[in-house]
Amino acid sequence: MAGGATTERFNPKSQPSSLPRLPCDQNGSGRTFGDEELRAVSEVLEAGVLTSTKGSFVRALESEFAETIGTRHAHACSSGTSAIHAAVAAIDPEPGEEIIVSPVTDMGALTPVLYQGAIPVFADVDPVTGNLTAETIQERISDRTRAIMVTHLFGNPCDMEPIMSLAGRHQLPVIEDCAQAFLASTEGANLGTLGAVGCFSLQQGQHVTCGEGGLVVTANADLSRRLRLFINKAWGYGDPDPDHYFLALNSRMSELQGAVALAQTRKATDSVDHRVHMAELLTHRLRGCPGITPPLVAPGQRHAYWRYAMLVQPDVIPGGASALAERLQAAGVACAPHYVGKPAFACKVIAEQRTFGNSRFPFTLARDEATDYRPERFRGTHKFLEDVLVLPWNESLQSAHVEFMATSIESAATTLRDEASRVLASSVSC
Ligand SMILES: Cc1ncc(COP(=O)(O)O)c(C=O)c1O
């Protein structure tokens, strides 16, 4: 099933010519599952060892993943959320200590902070990339800050050099949320290797997938031990006198998942190269389309294109991202205007502090400023979410699909502009 990544592996001829169906990562059309995964899963079942505490696939995945990313330790777990949970637990904040986070991310990056009794303190994002910056993080550092968590949104790296030097000055560990950024890099270093800990998701729609799963990486031996323990109920496997050393969960990955994830990891370098190639093609096609800004990738950075996110200027394209999305969807181009729709702090769990019973813990320990979500403190966030339009992306896209997307975008944008000019002209002539 899986061919060379940059070959035309999806055959547009099998699709209706009037409406090219785009491959989708929510089923096999946009994934690279094949004989390698089938063989590995069969091997697990034939051996009958499904737990990673006894099997060899999850172990092999951890060592190959660490090598692929370029770090020392990788620990597999049950989801990206549990990878982040393990990272926060490894850093071990005191209740009420603060972790600076992005409001434009998946909730799975945030609830682990609350489960560990810490306060997620939201910093604003850059209105063009949707990423945190050293400046926005700096504004939120307090004497209670215990760590910084950055999300490399859509696979586009945050500007890590100033973020790492800010963190260094304040002696704060950085957690990199790389759920969307597998094999994205900055100045040649893969994301996940720059901060103290890097977290990855293996969910259905990620670059490497086994349906659900996660991996957490670090170069630090002490953090590595705490990560391993947290994923294993803090039971000291292999220790001379093991015990359950601290509060922790079982978030292990099974061998069946490990078998699929290992086969996927081996294909991932090609898959990511192909995603990048196709995304650059679309960016090239969209340059010069009035009102559309393709993803901005800074020099020295490699975007991994989990998704292709463009900005739509509502003063040029009337109705902005919503109107353009409506047209594109009608034309058969799946897309999500405004990405997650609202900042994470506007979701009930955080806005209404719905946590443990009626306790509101740990928000009861928060400084007032730490939960101040007034719009004027998040101008970049609101602007970004207003303008962004997200196209799903995957490794089965071919140049014919990209061409179809580009022409659909250009034509929808032109129609919207023309309609608005006609309305304006008729209102002037009345
Ligand atoms: C940025 C980010 N962080 C965390 C997660 C959580 O990962 P999972 O869904 O595997 O728990 C996701 C999931 O898409 C994500 O996009």
Domain definitions of the chain by residue range: 35-123+130-264
Q: Taking Cα atoms as reference points, which of 248, 199, 196 lies closest to residue 223?
A: 196
Residue 305 — pLDDT band, cuts 50, 70, 90?
very high
Mean pLDDT within 253-273: 97
pLDDT digits (tens, 9 = 90+) for 85-102: 999 999 999 999 999 999
Instruction: State the chain's mean pLDDT as an integer.
Output: 94
pLDDT at 429: 67
Residue 14: pLDDT above 70? no
What values do phi and psi take at 33, rounded to 5?
-65, 140
How much distance in Å is there from the Cα of 106 to the middle of ligand 1? Answer: 5
Across the strands, what pairs with 77?
A: 214
By the 8 A CB rule, do 147 and 171 touch? no
Top CATH class of 35-123+130-264 equals alpha beta
How much distance in Å is there from the Cα of 195 to the middle of ligand 1? Answer: 18
pLDDT digits (tens, 9 = 90+) for 219-254: 999 999 999 999 999 999 999 999 999 999 999 999
pLDDT at 425: 75
**Closest atom, ligand 1, to C-alpha of 206:** 14
Give the closest residue (by CA) to ligand 1 atom 10.
80
Q: Which residue has the higher pLDDT, 422 or 299?
A: 299
Residue 168: pLDDT above 70? yes
- By mean pLDDT, which of 8-12, 79-83, 302-306, 421-425 is the weakest? 8-12
Mean pLDDT within 245-267: 98
Mutate to test the pocket of ligand 1, among 151, 158, 203, 393 (most ligand atoms within 8 A of CB): 203
Structure tokens at 70: 């370029």
Q: Taking Cα atoms as reference points, which of 376, 386, 85 lies closest to residue 216?
A: 85
Across the strands, what pairs with 101?
A: 122
| CA distance to 80, 274, 281, 402, per residue, from 284 (Å) | 32, 15, 5, 11
**Closest atom, ligand 1, to C-alpha of 84:** 4
**Closest atom, ligand 1, to C-alpha of 151:** 1
Mutate to test the pocket of ligand 1, among 107, 151, 180 (most ligand atoms within 8 A of CB): 180
How much distance in Å is there from the Cα of 285 to the middle of ligand 1? Answer: 30
**Closest atom, ligand 1, to C-alpha of 212:** 10
Mean pLDDT within 246-267: 98
Residue 19: pLDDT above 50? no
Residue 112 — pLDDT band, cuts 50, 70, 90?
very high
Residue 131: pLDDT above 80? yes
* Residue 173: strand, helix, or coil: coil
* Residue 10: strand, helix, or coil: coil
Q: How many residues are there in the chain?
A: 430
pLDDT digits (tens, 9 = 90+) for 361-408: 999 999 999 999 999 999 999 999 999 999 999 999 999 999 999 999
By the 8 A CB rule, do 331 and 412 touch? yes
Question: How far, in Å, CA of 103 to CA of 344, rounded?
Answer: 5
By the 8 A CB rule, do 182 and 132 touch? no
- Cis ω for the linkage preceding 12 (within 30 of 0): no
pLDDT at 8: 44
Residue 1 — pLDDT band, cuts 50, 70, 90?
very low
Q: Which residues form ligand 1's pocket by a CB distance below 6 Å?
A: 79-81, 105-106, 108-109, 151, 177, 179-180, 201, 203, 214
Question: How far, in Å, CA of 181 to CA of 21, rounded?
Answer: 26
| CA distance to 126, 205, 207, 282, 310, per residue, from 389 (Å) | 16, 18, 20, 14, 5
Mean pLDDT within 138-144: 98
CA-only gyration radius of the chain, Å: 23
Mean pLDDT within 406-427: 87
Residue 430 — pLDDT band, cuts 50, 70, 90?
low
